[in-house]
Chains A and B, each alone.
Chain A
């Protein structure tokens, strides 16, 4: 299964959430995480791999696409991470392989060659890994256009492909996420022109709401007026989301506000919860996202 992580805006928590999803999936399956955020390849920092914090020096995904090398380098996250609590936490965990971009790597022009190479790489990794999570750059990027064209190629038609669109729980983000999927030159339109069946493509897209405040939680610092405003506004956002076709049936899940992630993008492990640094609800949300991602019932057509 291929999972593409996209978002219209930067700073949505797309990368950190998809890393955490990959981490949970890898507890029982072999998982590959591909950093297709070519303009800013920084997923290494989330996995806490110091030598790949801003990408690796050579033979990364950039060179694979622009220079034609055959084997982009990958790192075994369990071995390469500095996080001692991740290593050996689960002796029966699957592999978690991280395919980094390159230090100083930049966006490149899309070409038929790059698209073919993309299809070849994804097909090859799909044979090897149960799940490949591909983190795309924000917005209408080269990476997004390239994977839409690649997944429309005949050799990729048989592969289960799922698209995630991450957005924060604000009016602007909802409108933007709607635009990225349904709007002009959005995923559906560009996908259809690349050869996808627009209906099938639409059905393979789910939204992930990031940092949604829990209004039921008691907040001692809040006035009654504030609370009322928040409830009203939250209700308005819900209506807006339904209007914009981002309603509940199209949502894969949501993550709560997590203070740790406001400061540092990282994997949230059970040990972060037991030391009370991170919230239990956050880990649960990631676990739930991972479970629903591979639950076919969630992805049945609408």
Chain B
């Protein structure tokens, strides 16, 4: 704290402090279904929730063991794929989903929309997250040149050299394989598409429209659950209770809907996601994205302070707070593009 900010003279905008959000110990994502699965009959939904239920119990127990005597604060959530399929009807899907979950002994505290990871209550969460990207520098990066960035892509290593955009009559660069940073003997190189820009014409006006990728929105989803996102210091995508009938359009629902009465807080120190194995590659991509973010350091520090005050052990690295359980998918969909 500088002496300029002593009580003698302060100004409102001089040092903004982010607002806090309530935190559970753990946020558990209880399965995930493609929109086609949700539309494809009760049995598919039932099969998945039956497989999720024992793991949910296991995850709860694991958290209790970790806390050693403290009563765990655990909330559950479920994410709906409405970003890529906004054309479906929540008034049909939601009641069915909740009934089957309850039947399988799973209480869903919060229902969230994937489109809400793009924009929640008019806050552009995906854009905010994109502005936090901090690509990893190859050896020899001095800062002299702008970071080598294929706009819309992020990788965990160094790409093969590229021969475009160079001067005329220059010798071509020899081919070399892409290489993972910090590899162990061999590379597992991953290049993730974060978004795709398309020029569209609306009423004769050309503009660029950005379509965010599923892994990128899934990374935002993790950040929201971990309580790490703020917009101008304010919390984002806060759960809102919903009573009454379900609307016909997803966009008429808040980004995160609170379903149960008096649940534990939506955001948590840690997350666990119980997902069909088809999501393994997406979650790998999510890990790469989360490892390459410049988080809001005030929020990070605040979270660490609160954990310490509660006597919790909290890994410094965000991805170490993120756990997964992969279960058998409803049917083999490995070939289907997400």
Contacts and interface: CB of A to CB of B under 8 A. Distances in A.
A38 B167 CA distance: 10
A109 interface: yes
A66 interface: yes
B69 interface: no
B166 A66 contact: yes
29 contacts: A38-B167, A39-B168, A66-B165, A66-B166, A66-B167, A67-B145, A68-B144, A68-B145, A68-B146, A69-B144, A69-B145, A70-B144, A105-B167, A106-B167, A106-B168, A106-B169, A106-B170, A107-B167, A107-B168, A108-B165, A108-B166, A108-B167, A108-B168, A109-B164, A109-B165, A109-B166, A111-B165, A113-B165, A114-B165
Interface of A: 38-39, 62, 66-70, 105-109, 111, 113-114
A72 to B, nearest CB: 12
B191 to A, nearest CB: 20
Contacts of B166: 66, 108-109
Interface in B224-271: none
Interface of B: 144-146, 164-170
Contacts of A39: 168
A144 to B, nearest CB: 16
Nearest to A65: B167
A68 B165 CA distance: 11
A67 B167 CA distance: 10
Given A39-B168, A109-B165, 18 more contacts: A38-B167, A66-B165, A67-B145, A68-B144, A69-B144, A69-B145, A70-B144, A105-B167, A106-B167, A107-B167, A107-B168, A108-B165, A108-B166, A108-B167, A108-B168, A109-B164, A113-B165, A114-B165
A108 B168 CA distance: 5
Contacts of A107: 167-168
B148 to A, nearest CB: 9
A66 B164 CA distance: 10
What 8 pairs across the A-B complex have the smallest Cβ distances? A68-B145, A106-B168, A106-B167, A108-B167, A107-B168, A106-B169, A68-B146, A66-B167
